[in-house]
Amino acid sequence: MSKYIFLEEAVSKIGETVWIKGWVAARRNMGKIVFLDIRDRSGVVQVVGVGNDLDQHSIDVLSNVRLGWLVEINGIVQKRGDKQKSFVVQLDRIEILVLNIFIISESEALPFEVEQNTLELSEGMRLKYRYLDIRSERVKNNLKKRQEINLFLRNYFSKQGFWEIETPYLTKGTPEGAREFVIPSRIHKGNFYVLPQSPQQFKQLLMVAGIERYYQVVRCFRDEDQRGDRQPEFTQFDLEMSFIDQEDILQLIEKAMIDLVKELFPNLRMQQIPFPRLTYMEAQKLYKSDKPDLRTEQDPNLLAFGWIIDFPLFEYSDTEKKMVSVHHPFTRPKNDDINMMEEKPEKVRAEAYDLVLNGFEVGGGSLRIFERDLQKKVFQILGLNETEISLRFGHLLEAFSFAPPPHGGIALGLDRLIAILLNEKNIREVIAFPKTGDAKDLMMGAPSEISKEVLNELHIKGV
């Protein structure tokens, strides 16, 4: 390990000589004494340079250094007296007395102050310089909290016997209602991969494979026209399990959410435990919504989780002029309703459930069909003919001929869940490098044109 410490570690090193490095967040020149606030990932600390005690190099550095420059400092950790607290930044119980200071790298004038709440800046500015925006306290802490949540969920489900398994990103269409991103194949002329809307079919195939309990923190892709606060790529905590019923999944996820909030967000209050359950019909009747805001008080620290169950399996689409799946075509109809599938498809209820939180859907899942004939019947009701069924889903139907286990699962929308837990209105605040509302990456400049040569290699005629 390097000799450098994170600033937060200095708190337990009073009287010791330490090496730190960080960016200059503030500079106060009092003549013989120069104060700098130094920021690293872990916090901000005041360092004190006393001119008379320093060598010429350090004196020069202290007089030349500017905001945003990166320095390394060798100094003694001291306790701060209460009187001095007026300058106090975060690590306010200590300061570091400079013995030597060196410049690691200089900075141009920053396009904006990262010490301020950057929420007040234009989004264009923040996203173009996202790496500077991440230096700001709020965005950095959101990322810190995000990795704590991921780690919590990984540990939690790993302890319950789940394996994290990666599924492919270059694949074939997974019909879940949205348009798909298409990737041309260079090697196979005229053929295309599709980026998955979710690992839905792969996780079901992992159940056929006998894995029994799978999860993945996974990127999903949907090429949707921008509606509200959406991202073309987003992250799900995706899970699948064999030999379970709906109750098992609801309890498993509910317990994970309760434990997560208690451990990582002790300041937040859950309105009702166990989480209330409403059928889709009840939710529509009472709230005219399938993602109702169940909060009964206005309190920013209040979390109102709830389950919406018994979704319809199909609904009629006026635009497509046919039946479409409310969730996705792999969702299982309730056993009691299976015999209505052909005559009254819109009356059939599904073994499907959504987790809602403060008026947002933060998760959705279902028990799955694992019988070949039943799955085929659903495809037929969705208007697919034999050829389409075998072209698009032949692999799945074939897999279901090799003793598939009954299975089901859920996917949590991590970006939204984290945004609500962190009281952020926009999911962009909890994503390191988000895209704009119209799906652009302002920092990298994506999407962008590509050269004729590359298009040729991909067998694509220019537009």
Interface residues toward ligand ASP, by CB under 6 A: 176, 198, 200, 364-366, 409-411
| DSSP letter string, 141-161 | HHHHHHHHHHHHHHHHHHHTT
Contacts of 11 (CB under 8 A, 6+ apart): 91, 93, 94
Instruction: Measure CA 177 to chain center.
Output: 21
Q: How far apart are CA 10 and CA 435, in angstroms?
A: 37
Q: Between the CA atoms of 285, 289, 294 and 300, what dihedral angle is there, to the nearest 10 degrees? A: -150
Residues comprising the chain, all counted: 463
Q: How far apart are CA 397 and CA 361, in angstroms?
A: 30
Query: Is residue 65 within 8 Å of 103, Cβ to Cβ?
Result: yes
- Residue number of the CB atom closest to ligand ASP: 198
Contacts by 251-256, CB closer than 8 A, 24 or more apart? 252/160, 253/355, 253/363, 253/410, 253/412, 254/305, 254/307, 256/153, 256/156, 256/157
